[in-house]
Structure 1
Amino acid sequence: MAQKEFRKFSSYKIQLYLGILDVACIFFNSILSGYWSKSGEIFCTHQKSSYIIGCIATALWAGTCATCMILGFNRIIEILFPKLSVKLFRGCRTYFWLAIPTVYMIYFAFFTNPLLFSSTSYAMFFDPYVNIDRFQIPVGTPKHENISHTINNILVIAVILIAYLCLCLIMLLKNHIDHDTNDMSYIQKQTFIQVTIICFFKMSAAAIYVYMQFFYTPDWLVITGQITWQTSHGVVGLIYLFLNTNMRDAVYTKIFKCWKPTTQTKPTFIRATNSKY
């Protein structure tokens, strides 16, 4: 996505930024969390490092959520109002939009309570003493919570669901108006597959993590929430590789010099429109 042929499209610029955040977050919520699960670490054993890592992981999650919402907005504007899209996202203007999730991450990193990993539940909680029966919280102690995180997750569920349902509806309407059944059916097929995968894991992680911060949650659901969080950052790369013809050809061409591109066949959903900005 960092190649010039992709960076001329605003949607790929946003996806590149999102990819950087995804890869960074995977280190904290997958690799490091896996190591701590095996070694049995809790907040009390590594308070400073656990707190700092929690701040970074929480900020990266918030940043990916904000970037996904901007990407959904970008796609809808691109399809419905191409001229307006050029005015909003042309050239370096896309980078100004990316300043929003950057500031959003700074806010979550420095001004909100972080998620803290606990090997007792194999997931991250705002309460550092979750499932530690021997620890008694003194009466009157403020609860460990993050209202901003709760609002963020609820907003993500609503915005992503509405945005991508709108995209699917737009594709259906375009099919009906243009009467281009064969080509549009292919695009629709790719659209629904990619939308379903991306939205399912992102919204599932957001919903489960909000629920388990406030209510009793069985271990299997907690672990499911952690896995969906991990998958929401890792599955997007696989979607690009297997369902995005342009991206797959670019990767294969880099690895196999004799690879013959197939991008001239049919476009996929992730591919940007023909307007070059």
Structure 2
Amino acid sequence: MSPDAWTSQFGMQRPILGILSISYGSIMEILFIPCLLAMLDKDLWRLSCYKIMFSVGIVDMLALAMNSISTGVLAYEGAVFCTHPVFIYLAGMCGLGLWCCSCLMNIMLLYTNVAHGVNNLMIMCGTFVFYGYICYVLCKANKTGKSSRIHIQSYQILYQSVAICFINQVSSSVYVVMNFVTVPEWLIVVAQLMWQLDHGTRTF
């Protein structure tokens, strides 16, 4: 059948979700530009964590093009796989690769300051361990009476990290569960939105 026939017979248009996804992705792409440019400051660029964050930012921008903008266009159209099989297949491969890359780079970032299911399980379990350890270290530093300025900066970093980690955790958990049981459509939409948020929230 023609692409239009596949869409009309099997597709379901979601114009609101499509417009929201396209708008979110476009706004986040624009916000990423000044964030990445700020990281290129020579004083910051000397620190390895900023080099990793810059790389994560590039990955996030590419991922937003896949999981927000292109997905939003397909949702607005109501496309199914056979509507645009080559594009959807390539976009899906890129999206999966960028998701795995982002997760691994986040773990690298934690250390400095393989299949899809294995990747998600590692992130789902590993984040609890890593952030639990960070909380322990900060609480221990608090008891030893370090300077308040260091405390404030440490806790700000922790709160930011936990917020990003929570979004990553929910998204990973839903995608892991989806491999084993049938989940309702609203939960799939929540997982998709969390995946979009995971790549967009680092601009803040």
For residues 181 and 10 of structure 1, what CA distance do their matches in structure 2 show? 24
Q: CA-to-partner distance for each residue in 1:196-244, whole Å, 9 max, x for gaps?
A: 2111011111111111233111111111000000000000111xxxxxx
Say which is worse superposed, 43-52 or 30-39, in terms of deviation: 43-52
Secondary structure of 1:44's partner?
helix
Whether the aligned pair in 1 keeps the contact of 2:175 and 2:191 (CA below 8 Å) is yes
Tell me if the contact between 2:167 and 2:198 (Cα under 8 Å) persists in the aligned partners: yes
Query: How do residues 1-277 of structure 1 correspond to structure 2 at under 5 angstroms?
Result: 1-75=39-113, 148-177=115-144, 179-180=145-146, 182-238=148-204
C-alpha deviation, 1:192, in angstroms: 3.7
Measured after TM superposition, the shift of residue 189 of structure 1 is 3.4
| Alignment check: 8 A CA contact 1:21 1:60 kept | yes
Q: Cα distance, 1:72 vs. partner?
A: 0.8
1:39-77 C-alpha deviation (Å, 9 max, x unpaired): 0111111111111111111100000011001111112xx
Tell me the percent identity: 28
Report the AA paired with residue 163 of structure 1: F
CA contact (8 A) 1:21 1:64 kept: yes
Cα distance in 2 for partners of 1:200, 1:182 equals: 26
Equivalent-residue separation in structure 2 for 1:7 and 1:180 (angstroms): 27
Q: Hey, what's the Cα distance between the residues in 1 that align with 2:151 and 2:40?
A: 30
Q: Deviations over 1:86-132 (max 9, x none)?
A: xxxxxxxxxxxxxxxxxxxxxxxxxxxxxxxxxxxxxxxxxxxxxxx
Shift of 1:195: 2.4
Q: Are the aligned partners of 2:60 and 2:199 in contact in 1 as well (CA < 8 Å)?
A: yes
Letter in 2 for 1:160: T
The size of the alignment, in residue pairs, is: 166
Distance 1:7 1:188, change over 3 A: closer
Letter in 2 for 1:170: V
Verify the 8 A CA contact 1:168 1:188 in the aligned structure 2. no
More helix per residue? 2
1:144 is matched with which residue?
Answer: none
- The secondary structure found in structure 2 opposite 1:187 is helix
1:139 aligns with: none
RMSD over aligned CA atoms reads 1.5
- Secondary structure of 2:81's counterpart equals coil
Tell me which of the two structures has the higher relative contact order, counting C-alpha pairs closer than 8 angstroms and 6 or more residues apart: 2
What is the CA distance between 1:148 and its match in structure 2? Answer: 1.0
Find the aligned partners of 1:159 and 1:72 in 2 and give their Cα distance.
Answer: 11
Structure 2: gaps (5+ residues)? 1-38
In the alignment, residue 34 of structure 1 is paired with which amino acid? G
Aligned partners of 2:86, 2:148: CA distance in 1, in Å? 58
Cα distance in 2 for residues equivalent to 1:166 and 1:175: 14
Paired amino acid for 1:49: F
Give the match's secondary structure for 2:65. Answer: helix
CA offset at residue 2 of structure 1? 2.0
Distance 2:52 2:42 in 1: 14
Give TM-score, length-normalised by structure 2: 0.77
> Which is higher, the Rg of structure 1 or of structure 2?
1
Letter in 1 for 2:94: I
